[in-house]
């Protein structure tokens, strides 16, 4: 029996939880002990309910300014607080304390660079797991990620150097922490498909998306119109009202999951054809009869839709989502909508609903997915992690 | 002897962490072992913690998201994860894990209501140790703390009921008896309300023991007052305060002698402020050496304001959040200082600064009167009594 610490440090929302919880279960089924450390401690009820050790992951101080279009993976981390040496030092110290108590045999990071650095300093075996965004291809310098821009090699290398310099200033030079320690583990598990990999496709072993949506409120389609659109939206997105209006105008029947919305607000803005729910929904029964999904480009919802053969209209809110959306658009499985103008949104929705080729490709992709490896990605990942400590 | 976890969950800045670190040293001298669970980790270097273990406190990263400034304790909790039973369950689970992990036997809660819930679930002894704002009166309904906002009794009660409902739902999941009222969350084996009635955010409370303000003036770098003529001004402000530039210009214009602690100060402004007459540090200063000769103390109205009062030093308070705004008002009421209440009107700083220098004699009298009223107060004695009382709690003895 071994002990594993599974850490999530960056990224919002449920995507990380829905990936690492099944991984933890798979490790436990194999007889190991698992502790979780979550960036968002308000999500710890899920592992605690299953009697996993449930820690709050140390978090960096939020930087005063945020660049929404970082140039490469190093720049992303600098943007997320890695310039702040005092904060880095404190966070590393808190990981030391946590590792001292948990005493893991290996550390698995889902976008958890500080956990990876701490594990390196403690000479522990390490693995990464994720959707691909947190795992840049191992090139020097780390490759550019800003869409449509060819970045200068020297600029990229400067960002890489700034990142390692900041980490060295925080934790010292022995052991020397390199980009390899920060971003990559002894095993790197890509829990996605090449079509969905924001930094792909690449020469790597794709395990496939891990876990599905768990729980959620039950609801059902009714006879209030066709076609059927299932939307998963952030109510704080500035396009939210325009999307609702476009759905209303399209003549479609829409079910909108908008977790975080006020209940009364959701009720007030719902109509016979467009029903808004201020919570997560149980998606599989809805997806089976959906014609189109509308989302922001989170890989979890996109994977659910694609497995069910439903194409997507994607309205990205941040870089990772835009990269996912671009990949899916390239594969002809989604329509990427970057313009924020309400009339263009409405036109894109109407276009996506009418595009028969889009729907045919999504159906075809779902059939093809079914023929790909049948191994459960969580079990496959658990087996590779286990191999690290043998 | 016991293993004691010092927990800081809510509120910003160095004050809570510094107070915990200082108390911990006294507890260690009494033979206890200490662990720290802190909300913020970026200023550990500025604290007398040496190699001690520090854990991340479980907190909501969406604190206050979509909400205005809260008007009551319940509303504040609702914005910090208590608005949803699952989210609160997550926070409590995180606290249970860390308290178990460091094998705590007693929890010292400094503005740490969820740590108190976890300690209740685990059956640990617990005390609270904080200022007036963080230790609200234990009454129903819990009183609103914003005199500037009208709130209907019904709305106040509804928010308290919502928070209590979620607290009880989570306690129920752990098989712990429901609370009858939200303030029962704050039931402790000993309560160290560290303020004076005049500074209490909730106004003077009947039948409450005040332990006096907490501040430490002995830790920090030794920086002497510069030689020269100008007024001696001590500055304890954050670099991110939008009024800082106006403060710097006023200090220069009035040829002040300055000892300044400005964490996070950028190079450009440091160069502007620094001179032979104006010492600037990014580490805390040893105030014991500076306060006796200080003419004016500029600060945000945190714990350190209590130190200024107890040394009879006039203050210009620049509150950066609501809790400090109330402290600033109390200091003005005591005639011991002036306040620049708004953050968004930096030009008001200069006028207030000039007035504080002009009215220096009056403000000094106000501060000195305060000092005389509490002449018997001694931080060392406060600390000794707190450590002794914690020892009694551990031994299961009544107060």
| Rounded-to-integer distance, Cα B231 and Cα B248, Å | 14
Lowest mean pLDDT across A46-60, B20-34, B143-157: B143-157
pLDDT at res. B220 = 87
Indicate whether A183 and A247 sit together in one domain: no
Residues A75 and A13 in one domain: yes
Tell me what the mean pLDDT of segment B61-67 comes to: 80
Q: Which of residues 99-138 of A touch B (CB under 8 A)?
A: 100-102
More confident residue, A313 or B203: A313
Is A218 part of any domain?
no
Nearest-by-Cβ selection for B90 from A43, A89, A91: A43
Q: Is B244 exposed, middle or buried (0-12, 13-18, 19+ CB in 10 A)?
A: buried
ipTM, interface predicted TM-score of the complex? 0.94
pLDDT (tens, 9 = 90+) of chain A, 390 residues, equals 999 999 999 997 778 999 999 999 999 999 999 999 999 999 999 999 999 999 999 999 999 888 888 999 999 999 999 999 999 999 999 999 999 999 999 999 999 999 999 999 999 999 999 999 999 999 999 999 998 888 899 999 999 999 999 999 999 988 899 999 999 999 999 999 999 999 999 999 899 999 877 788 999 998 766 899 999 999 999 999 999 999 999 999 999 999 989 899 999 999 999 999 999 999 999 999 999 999 999 999 999 999 999 999 999 999 999 999 999 999 999 999 998 899 999 999 999 999 999 999 999 999 999 998 778 999 999 999 999 998
Residue A94, chain B, CB below 8 Å: the answer is: yes
pLDDT of residue A294: 98
Partner-chain contact B94 A54, CB within 8 Å: yes
Q: Which CATH architecture has domain B3-212+378-395?
A: 3-Layer(aba) Sandwich (3.40)
State the nearest Cα–Cα gap between A9 and chain B, in angstroms. Answer: 12
Name the residue in chain A with its Cα closest to that of B44: A90
Q: What is the pLDDT of residue A50?
A: 98
State pTM to two decimals: 0.94
Task: Average the pLDDT over B171-190 and give the result.
Answer: 97
Three-class SS state of A107: strand
- Give the pLDDT confidence score for residue B59 in this predicted structure: 97
Optimal mutation site among A46, A56, A100, A240, interface B, most CBs of chain B within 10 A? A56
Query: Which residues lie across from A7 on neighbouring strands?
Result: A37, A109
Mutation target to probe the B interface, by most B beta carbons within 10 A, among A10, A16, A35, A41 is A41
Residues A117 and A42 in one domain: yes
Q: Is residue A223 one of the residues assigned to a domain?
A: no
Other C-beta atoms closer than 10 Å to the C-beta of B50 total 7
Out of A39, A48, A87, name the one closest to residue B41 (CB): A87
Distance CA B235, CA B299 (A): 6
For chain B, the structural domain boundaries read: 3-212+378-395, 232-373
- Give the CATH number of the domain where residue A281 resides: 3.40.50.2000
Beta-bridge mates of residue B106: B4, B125
Q: Is A307 on the interface with B (CB under 8 A)?
A: no
Instruction: Kindly state whether residues A276 and A311 are assigned to the same domain.
Output: yes
Q: Cis before residue A175, ω within 30 degrees of 0?
A: yes
> pLDDT digits over B325-362, tens only?
989 999 999 999 999 988 888 889 999 999 999 999 99
- Whole domain around residue A349: which residue ranges? 228-369
Residue contact A55–B40, C-beta within 8 A: no
Based on the domain organization, do A159 and A261 belong to the same domain? no
Considering only the beta carbons, identify the residue of A42, A47, A48 that sits closest to B81: A42
Q: Say whether B59 and A56 touch across the interface (CB within 8 A).
A: yes
Mean pLDDT over B171-200 rounds to 96
Question: Does residue A311 share a domain with residue A193?
Answer: no
The enclosing H or E element of B354 equals: helix B347-358
Q: Which residues of B touch A265 (CB under 8 A)?
A: none
Same domain? For A170 and A233 the reply is: no
User: Do residues A197 and A236 share a domain?
Assistant: no
A255 shares contact with chain B (CB less than 8 Å): no
Residue B119 to residue B124: CA distance in whole angstroms: 5
* Torsion (CA) B41, B42, B47, B49 in degrees, nearest 10: 40
By the 10 Å C-beta count (0-12 exposed, 13-18 middle, 19+ buried), A353 is classed as buried
Answer yes or no: do A361 and A302 share one domain: yes
What is the rounded distance in angstroms from the CA atom of residue A23 to the CA atom of residue A6? 9
User: Residue B239: is its pLDDT beyond 80?
Assistant: yes
Contact residues, chain B, for A55 at CB < 8 Å: 56, 94, 97-98, 101
The minimal CB distance from A40 to the residues B45, B61, B93 is found for: B61
Q: Would A215 be classed as within a structural domain?
A: no
The DSSP secondary-structure symbol of A82 reads I
Split into its structural domains, chain A has a count of 2
Mean pLDDT of chain B: 93
Residues above pLDDT 90, as percent of chain B: 80
pLDDT-based confidence at B383, cuts 50/70/90? very high
A80 touches chain B (CB under 8 A): no
The DSSP H or E segment spanning B158 is: helix B153-173
CATH class as words, domain B232-373: alpha beta
* Chain B residue nearest residue A88, CA to CA: B42
* Shared-domain flag, residues A162 and A94: yes
A59 and chain B in contact, CB less than 8 A: yes
Beta-carbon separation of A58 and B240 below 8 A: no
B370 token code pair: 């305060």
Residue of B nearest to A45 (CA): B90
**What is the pLDDT, as a whole number, of residue B65?**
75
Contacts of A234 in chain B (CB under 8 A): none
Nearest to A294 by CA among A256, A260, A237, A341: A256
Q: What residues of A are in contact with residue B98 (Cβ under 8 Å)?
A: 55-56
Among the partner residues A42, A87, A96, nearest to B90 by beta-carbon distance? A42
Residue A68 has phi, psi (to 5 degrees) of: -70, -10
Does one domain contain both A32 and A173? Answer: yes
Direct distance between the N- and C-terminal alpha carbons of chain A, in angstroms, rounded to an integer:
10
For A86, which of B42, B58, B84 is closest by C-beta distance? B42
Report yes or no: B367 and B309 within 8 Å, Cβ to Cβ: yes
* Contact residues, chain A, for B54 at CB < 8 Å: 90, 93-94, 97
Q: List the single residue in B43, B89, B102 with the smallest CB-CB distance to A45.
A: B89
Q: Give A-chain residues touching B89 at CB under 8 angstroms.
A: 44-45, 48
Residue A214 lies in a domain: no
- Residues of chain B with Cβ-Cβ distance to A97 below 8 Å are 53-55, 102
Q: Do A381 and A322 share a structural domain?
A: no
* Helix ranges restricted to H, chain A: 15-29, 45-49, 73-77, 85-102, 113-121, 153-171, 179-183, 240-250, 263-269, 284-288, 299-307, 319-330, 342-354, 356-371, 377-389
């Amino acid at each position: 029996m071994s002990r594993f610490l599974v850490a999530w440090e960056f990224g919002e929302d449920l995507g990380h939880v829905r990936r690492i919880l099944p991984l933890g279960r798979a490790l436990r089924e194999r007889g190991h002990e698992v502790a979780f450390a979550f960036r968002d401690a308000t999500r710890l009820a899920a592992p605690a309910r299953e009697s996993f050790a449930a820690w709050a992951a140390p978090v960096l101080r939020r930087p005063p300014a945020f660049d929404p279009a970082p140039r490469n993976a190093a720049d992303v981390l600098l943007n997320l607080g890695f310039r702040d040496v005092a904060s880095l030092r404190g966070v590393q110290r808190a990981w030391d304390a946590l590792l001292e108590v948990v005493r893991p045999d290996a550390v698995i990071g889902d976008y958890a660079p500080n956990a990876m650095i701490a594990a390196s300093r403690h000479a522990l075996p390490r693995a990464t797991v994720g959707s691909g965004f947190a795992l840049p291809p191992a090139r020097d310098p780390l490759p550019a990620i800003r869409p449509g821009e060819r970045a200068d090699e020297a600029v990229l290398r400067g960002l890489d150097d700034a990142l390692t310099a900041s980490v060295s200033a925080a934790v010292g030079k022995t052991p020397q922490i390199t980009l390899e320690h920060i971003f990559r583990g002894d095993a790197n598990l890509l829990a996605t498909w090449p079509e969905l990999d924001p930094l792909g496709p690449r020469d790597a072993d794709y395990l496939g998306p891990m876990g599905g949506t768990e729980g959620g409120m039950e609801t059902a389609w009714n006879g209030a119109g066709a076609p059927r659109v299932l939307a998963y939206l952030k109510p704080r997105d500035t396009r939210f009202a325009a999307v609702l209006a476009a759905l209303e105008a399209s003549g479609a029947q829409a079910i909108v999951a908008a977790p975080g919305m006020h209940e009364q607000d959701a009720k007030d803005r719902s109509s016979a054809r467009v029903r808004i729910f201020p919570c997560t929904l149980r998606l599989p029964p809805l997806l089976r009869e959906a014609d189109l999904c509308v989302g922001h480009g989170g890989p979890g919802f996109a994977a659910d839709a694609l497995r069910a053969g439903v194409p997507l209209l994607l309205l990205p809110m941040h870089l990772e989502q835009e990269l996912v959306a671009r990949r899916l658009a390239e594969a002809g499985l989604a329509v990427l909508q970057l313009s924020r103008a309400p009339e263009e949104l409405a036109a894109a929705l109407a276009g996506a609903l009418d595009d028969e080729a889009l729907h045919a490709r999504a159906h075809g992709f779902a059939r093809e997915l079914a023929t790909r490896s049948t191994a459960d990605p969580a079990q496959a990942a658990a087996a590779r992690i286990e191999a690290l400590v043998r | 002897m016991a293993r004691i976890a010092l927990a800081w969950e809510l509120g910003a800045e160095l004050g809570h962490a510094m107070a915990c670190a200082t108390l911990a040293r006294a507890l260690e001298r009494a033979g206890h072992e200490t662990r720290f669970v802190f909300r913020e980790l970026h200023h550990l270097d500025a604290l007398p913690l040496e190699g001690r273990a520090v854990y991340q406190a479980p907190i909501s990263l969406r604190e206050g998201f979509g909400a205005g400034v809260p008007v009551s304790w319940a509303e504040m909790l609702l914005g910090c994860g208590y608005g949803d039973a699952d989210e609160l369950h997550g926070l409590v689970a995180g606290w249970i894990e860390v308290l178990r992990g460091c094998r705590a036997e007693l929890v010292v809660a400094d503005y740490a209501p969820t740590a108190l819930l976890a300690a209740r679930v685990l059956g640990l002894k617990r005390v609270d140790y904080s200022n007036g704002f963080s230790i609200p009166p234990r009454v129903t309904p819990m009183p609103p703390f914003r005199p500037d906002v009208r709130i209907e009794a019904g709305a106040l009660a509804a928010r308290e009921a919502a928070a209590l409902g979620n607290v009880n739902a989570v306690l129920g999941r752990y098989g712990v008896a429901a609370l009858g009222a939200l303030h029962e969350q704050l039931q402790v084996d000993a309560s160290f309300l560290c303020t004076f009635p005049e500074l209490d955010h909730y106004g003077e409370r009947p039948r409450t023991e005040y332990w006096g303000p907490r501040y430490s003036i002995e830790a920090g770098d030794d920086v002497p007052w510069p030689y020269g003529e100008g007024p001696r001004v001590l500055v304890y402000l954050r670099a991110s305060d939008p009024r800082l530039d106006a403060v710097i210009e006023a200090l220069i214009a009035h040829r002040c002698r300055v000892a300044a602690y400005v964490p996070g100060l950028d190079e450009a402004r440091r160069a502007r402020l620094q001179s032979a007459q104006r010492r600037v540090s990014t580490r805390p200063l040893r105030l014991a050496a500076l306060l006796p000769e200080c003419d004016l103390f500029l600060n945000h109205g945190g714990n350190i304001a209590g130190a200024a009062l107890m040394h009879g030093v006039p203050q210009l308070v620049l509150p950066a959040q609501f809790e400090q705004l109330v402290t600033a008002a109390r200091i003005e009421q005591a005639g011991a200082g002036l306040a620049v209440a708004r953050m968004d009107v930096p030009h008001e700083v200069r006028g207030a600064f000039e007035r504080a220098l002009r009215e220096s004699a009056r403000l000094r009298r106000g501060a000195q009167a305060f000092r005389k009223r509490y002449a018997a107060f001694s931080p060392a004695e406060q600390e000794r009594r707190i450590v002794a009382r914690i020892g009694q709690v551990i031994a299961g003895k009544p107060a």
